[in-house]
Amino acid sequence: MKTEAKDTKPYHHGNLRESLLAAARRLLETEGHSNLSLRKCAQAAGVSATAPQNHFANKEALLTALAAQGYAELETYMKRGVKETADRGARRQAALLGYVAFAQELPALYELMFARDRVSSSDPDLLRHVGACFVILADLSKDFGRYHGDAAKVEAKQQMFVWSLVHGYAQLLTADRFKKDTMQGMNIFDIIPDLGT
Amino acid sequence: MKTEAKDTKPYHHGNLRESLLAAARRLLETEGHSNLSLRKCAQAAGVSATAPQNHFANKEALLTALAAQGYAELETYMKRGVKETADRGARRQAALLGYVAFAQELPALYELMFARDRVSSSDPDLLRHVGACFVILADLSKDFGRYHGDAAKVEAKQQMFVWSLVHGYAQLLTADRFKKDTMQGMNIFDIIPDLGT
DNA sequence: TCTTCATATGTGCAGTGTAAACTTTTTCTT
DNA sequence: AAGAAAAAGTTTACACTGCACATATGAAGA
C-alpha cells in the first residue's frame, strides 16, 4: 500500500545521472571547477550526499563525463550556422569563430576540457568526442597555407597549426592575457598573417 | 642560556616561505596540482599544518606565487642559449623552442600558470612576471609575417598570433592531443606555413 | 508471492582549508 | 638592559570533502 501522501518524493530518482551532470554544469560556470563538489551536485539534484557514487566511480569520472559533454557541445558550436554546401573557406570561418565563442561563453567548461589533472584522458567516451571535434578541424584545415613536403605530413602540419592557433587564441582570450587596447576588438582571423592564398 | 642540545630544531624556520614554495613545486609535478595541499607542503617543510598561514593568506595565494615563479622560469627558458647579438630570427627560434620545452618539462606548472580558477590573475607580482614574458614575445614577434594596416595594430596582431600559436601548440602537446604518427617528431616551426618571408 | 538487483540512504573516516587563541622568539623602543 | 611589540611558530576547532561500507527501498522477473 502507499505509505504517504500523493506527491511524496520517490525513492528512486529515475534520471539521476543526467540530473547530476546538469547540476555540475550549472555549478561549474558559477563557482569554478575547483569549488565544484560531488556533494553540492547531489544536493542540487535533491538527493543524498553519496548517491552520485552509484553513477560515477569517483569525482574524476564525473568531471570526465562533463568534459566529454563539453567536446560534444564544442562540435555543435563549430557546426553552427554552417551550410553544408558552403565552400571550405566559409566553413573554416564559421567553425573557428564558433570555437572561440564556445570558449568565451563556457570558459570553465573549456578549461576543464584541457585539464590533464582532473579528467582521465584515456576515457573512451571522451576520446570519441575529441575525435569528432578533430574531424571537423581536420576538414577545415585542408588547403590552409602553403607547405612543402609529402601530402600526409602537410596535412598533419595544417591540422596542428590550425588547432594550435585557435586553441591558444581561445585560451589566452578567456584567461584575459590580451589586455592592451590595441588588442581588443579583434577576432581570430585578424591576427593571421597574409598566407599568400 | 641555551635550553637544549646544539642542533635542536629552531622554533623559527627562518626561510619558510621559500621552503613552502619549493615543496609545492616538488609536489606539483609529482602529484599534480589537484592533489597538492597546504598541509602536505607544510609537512614537507617540516612545520605544523597551519604554519603556511603566516606566509600565504590562503591556498590561492600560494598557487599564485607558484604561477608567478613559473613565469619567471619561463622567461629564463626563452632567453636560454640566445646570444644578445643574434638576429631576431635566431632569437625567435630559440625562444619559441624554449617556451615549448618549458611546457613539456614542467607541464603541471605550465597548466597552473593559465588556470583562471586557481590563481588570482590580478596579483601584481604575477602580472609583473607575465609582463616580462610578454616583452620577450613582443620583441620576437616583430617582422613576423605580412600584415596590412597601421603599425600599432600590426604589432598587436603579430604578438597575438605568435603567442596564440606557441601557447596552443605547447598545451596541446602536453595534453597529448597530437597523437597520430605523422604528428610526432615535429617542432613548432614545422607546423608554420610558408609566410612569404 | 518470492527473489533479485539496480538504485537510493546513512554512517564513518581520513584529509582539507581556514579561523582563532596561544606560545615562543626576535626586534624595536626607551 | 628591560620591557613592549611584532613576527613566526604552535595547538585546537570546525565545516566541508571524497570515498568505503553497510543498509534500505522499490521495481521487475521467477
Confidence label for B84 from pLDDT (cuts 50, 70 and 90): confident
A24 has pLDDT over 80 = yes
Span(s) in chain A for CATH 1.10.10: 10-56
B12 has pLDDT over 60 = yes
From the CA of A55, how many Å to the C1' of C13?
Answer: 22
pTM value surpassing 0.75: yes
- Per the prediction, chain A carries an average pLDDT of 92
The CA distance from B115 to the nearest CA of chain A, in Å, is 8
Fold of the A10-56 domain: Arc Repressor Mutant, subunit A (1.10.10)
**CA pair distance A19, B187, nearest whole angstrom:** 44
Task: Please give the CATH number for the structural domain made up of B57-183.
Answer: 1.10.357.10
Q: How does pLDDT run across B21-48, given as a tens digit for each residue? A: 999 999 999 999 999 999 999 999 999 9
Q: Which pLDDT value is given to residue B8?
A: 60
Q: Do A164 and B168 touch (CB under 8 A)?
A: yes
Confidence label for A1 from pLDDT (cuts 50, 70 and 90): very low
- φ/ψ of B177, rounded to 5, equals -90, -10
Q: Are A162 and A144 in contact (CB under 8 A)?
A: yes
Q: How does pLDDT run across A146-182, given as a tens digit for each residue? A: 999 999 999 999 999 999 999 999 999 999 899 999 9
Span(s) in chain A for CATH 1.10.357.10: 57-197
Q: Which nucleotides in chain D lie closer than 7 A to a protein CB?
A: 8-13, 16-22, 25-27
Q: How does pLDDT run across A31-65, given as a tens digit for each residue? A: 999 999 999 999 999 999 999 999 999 999 999 99
Which residues make up the interface with nucleic strand C when CB must lie under 7 A?
A: A 11-14, 16, 42, 47-51, 53-55; B 3, 10-12, 36-40, 49-50, 53, 58-60
Give the number of other CB atoms < 10 A from CB of residue B139.
Answer: 13
- φ/ψ of B82, rounded to 5, equals -115, 120
Residues of chain B with Cβ-Cβ distance to A121 below 8 Å are: 175-176
Task: Please give the CATH number for the structural domain made up of A57-197.
Answer: 1.10.357.10
Architecture of domain B1-56: Orthogonal Bundle (1.10)
**CA pair distance B129, B127, nearest whole angstrom:** 5
Report the percentage of chain B scoring pLDDT > 70: 94
Region B51-67: mean pLDDT is 98
DSSP assignment letter at A80: T
Give the closest of A121, A166, A194 to B146, CB-based: A194
Nearest 10 degrees: Cα torsion B153, B154, B160, B165: 160
Q: Which pLDDT value is given to residue B154?
A: 97
Span(s) in chain B for CATH 1.10.357.10: 57-183
- Nearest Cα residue to B83 out of B93, B70, B72: B93
A94 has pLDDT over 60 = yes
**CA pair distance B164, A99, nearest whole angstrom:** 14
Cell 561563453 locates to A105
Span(s) in chain B for CATH 1.10.10.60: 1-56
Q: Which pLDDT value is given to residue B5?
A: 38
If 0-12 CB within 10 Å is exposed, 13-18 middle and 19+ buried, where does residue A41 land? buried
- φ/ψ of A38, rounded to 5, equals -60, -40
Give the closest of A108, A116, A163 to B168, CB-based: A163
B6 has pLDDT over 60 = no
H-run or E-run covering A127 = helix A124-141
**CA pair distance A123, B180, nearest whole angstrom:** 17
Q: In this structure, is the CB of residue B33 within 7 Å of any atom belonging to strand D?
A: no
**CA pair distance B139, B159, nearest whole angstrom:** 9
